[in-house]
Amino acid sequence: MSASSEPIDRARLLSGRLVASLEYHKVLESTNDRAKTLAREGGIELPALILAGRQTAGRGRGRNRWWSGPESLAFTLLVNTEPWKTAREQISLSALAAGIAVVEAVSRRVAQHAVGLHWPNDVYVGDRKLSGILVEVPVENRLVVGIGINTNCRLDDAPPELRQRITALIELTGDVHDHTGLVADWLVAWTNWIGRLPDRPGEIGERANGLCLQCGRVLRLRQGSQVYEGECLGIASDGAIRLRGKEGVREFYSGSVE
């Protein structure tokens, strides 16, 4: 596909110097999988942005699948983490930084709605999911940051079991949203927050805590075969979720919230 026929403005996304290379695919199984392949092969200038007009096998955490409806937004950023030195140890903060960036980019478009985070990797509007985030470390010194946002897709196209649990920007506003502008705003916000990881990582956790929509709710957190239940006290400055259960307050750095 030629650049002139792509539904995104390649020149605009590259002009801000927040992205060094860009791939657009009309159809792709998974932008994260493509980014992981590029990370293993090497030779691509970073940061690299991979976008798909349609994603057929988007992935969530674990075995979860991300539904990507027609006209939704799916993209992945492949970055070099060598300057940070702590990609594996601080992957939870990287995911939170990505989520904060989604919240900030989206909030400008739905100012009348409360947009926030669900730890560890989701963005919600009220009690409905708008965006999912998947951060992976495929090889040393490389971070894959995958973002899926329900933008211009219709909920009627979603599987029946999801329709009451998700939302989309077009459903919230009645307007069609420009993907180039949304990605550009996300890149600016992401660069701002991930830039704090080496020296001011606590600011990421503090901002995430302020955006956490789970505070005060009783959550069930699963780690493998273990399930923990407790009242959510928010997100700690190091990215852990804090739950107060029968055994007191515990902090968790990984797991799936049910």
The predicted-structure confidence for 177-229, as pLDDT tens digits, reads as follows 999 999 999 999 999 999 999 899 999 999 999 999 999 999 999 999 999 99
Q: Domain of 48?
A: 3-211
| pLDDT mean over 2-15 | 80
CA torsion, points 163, 169, 173, 178, in degrees to nearest 10?
A: -150
Do residues 227 and 207 share a domain?
no
Contact 61, 223 (CB under 8 A): no
Residue 60 scores a pLDDT above 80: no
Do residues 109 and 196 share a domain?
yes
Do residues 137 and 188 share a domain?
yes
Our count of domains for the chain comes to: 2
Q: Over the chain, what is the mean pLDDT? A: 91
Residue 167 scores a pLDDT above 80: yes
Do residues 15 and 127 share a domain?
yes
CATH number of the domain within which 231 lies: 2.30.30
CB atoms under 10 Å from CB of 154, counted, come to 14
pLDDT in tens, 76-110: 999 999 877 655 568 889 999 999 999 999 999 99
Do residues 147 and 86 share a domain?
yes
Do residues 36 and 125 share a domain?
yes
CATH number of the domain within which 58 lies: 3.30.930.10
Output the pTM of the full model.
0.93
